[in-house]
Amino acid sequence: MTALGDTVPQRTAPQARGGLGQSVSDSLVVAKRNLIRMTRIPEMIIFGLIQPIMFVVLFSYVFGGSMQIGASTSPQVYREFLMAGIFAQTVTFATAGAGAGIADDMHKGLIDRFRSLPMTRGAVLTGRTLADLVQTTLTLVVLAIVALLVGWRIHEGIPKALAAFALLLLLGYAFSWIGALIGLSVRTPEAATSGGLIWLFPVTFISNAFVDSSKLPSWLQPIAEWNPFSATVQACRELFGNPGVSPSDAWPMQHPVWASLLWSLLIIVVFRTLSVRKYRSATA
């Protein structure tokens, strides 16, 4: 007599069909899920807007009259110099939110539920980073309005300004993959938030975002000039037509638009690969 256990087929998780089309479709579904979740927790968006607005107001009015840009100490000149750095800081600080969100999904077991569905593995992370990109875009729009109110202006026309914002969003998307890797590597959302911020402070402040990098100590200047963050800030200043830093022989400062593109694409390739590999090993 055949045992009952031998006659009942074992259930296995359905397999994804694979292919680029399937991956894109799955990623968009996950992105939609995360966007719906954001709309149901509006304080996430509100608090995400308050911090960059505070940075704009504090730096503009507290430090604006004491900073020298070129030969000028005008607060208006510093505000135009400052805004590219604030924009870049805002999109990169979204990294902490991306890491915390993924860590929260891991902690609550949601990732295990995704594993039971016939979907591509990388779609879970790609969908999350795309949703964060949408939220970052909204934040940039609000921040640009606030910047215009405090005196920031663009001088090179709308097309170049849009190109600058595109570089900012690309940098933010690239850094969100660093956040994804951090979120997969820690045990709690709180640890992901701390781990996502602690390394961002030296990246954003050892740069040309808030001061002219030529004013930094000589041993810090090369670090600031080859910082991917600095390349995007300098590219945005050129595209916005805002005051920039003192001339430098460093290649990223001579060709900031190309440097920004190359740095962002390199970060995406490296950290997406590492994140997907980490995700597969964590859920295997």
Q: Is 72 strand, coil or helix?
A: strand
Q: Distance (Å, rounded) from C-alpha 176 to C-alpha 101?
A: 11
For the chain, what's the residue count? 284
Tokens of 230: 């600095």
What is the CA angle 127-132-136, rounded to 5? Answer: 150
What is the tens place of the pLDDT at every residue in 76-118? 788 888 899 999 999 998 787 778 878 887 777 766 677 666 7
SS3 277: helix
37-61 pLDDT per residue, tens = 777 777 777 777 787 888 888 877 7
Q: How far is the C-alpha of 256 from the C-alpha of 253, rounded, in Å?
A: 5
> Which residue bears the tokens 């570089």?
167
Instruction: Give the pLDDT score at 126.
Output: 87
The predicted pLDDT at position 64 comes to 65
Q: What is the per-residue pLDDT for 105?
A: 76
Q: What whole-number percentage of the chain has pLDDT above 70?
A: 86
Query: Using DSSP, how many helices (H) and how many strands (E) does the chain show?
Result: 13, 0
Residue 238 DSSP SS3: helix
CA 91 to chain centre: 5
Contact 165, 72 (CB under 8 A): no
Whole-number Å distance between alpha carbons of 152 and 136 = 20
Which pLDDT tens digit goes with each residue over 139-190? 899 899 988 888 888 999 999 999 999 999 999 999 999 988 988 888 788 8
